Amino acid sequence: MMTVPPALIAGISRLVQAAGLVALAYLLGRFRDAGTLIYLGGGIGSGQLRLVALAGAWGFLLGSSVAMVPWFSGLVRHGVWRWSAGILGTAASCLALALLAGYGFIALLSSGPGYEKVSAPAGEHTLLINNRSFLLLGTHVVYEQQHGPVYVLRDTVLTDDGYDPFGTGAFSVQWGRDSATISYAVQSPVEEGDAAPRDGRAVIPFGPG
pTM of the model: 0.81
| Predicted confidence (pLDDT) per residue in 9-61, tens digit | 888 899 999 999 999 999 999 999 999 999 998 889 999 999 999 999 999 99
Asked if residue 32 lies in contact with residue 46, where contact means CB atoms within 8 angstroms, the answer is yes
| Alpha-carbon gap, residue 206 to 194, rounded angstroms | 33
For residue 121, CA distances in Å to 48, 55, 61, 154 come to 29, 39, 48, 20
| Predicted confidence (pLDDT) per residue in 97-134, tens digit | 999 999 999 888 877 778 999 999 888 899 999 988 77
Asked if residue 100 lies in contact with residue 22, where contact means CB atoms within 8 angstroms, the answer is yes
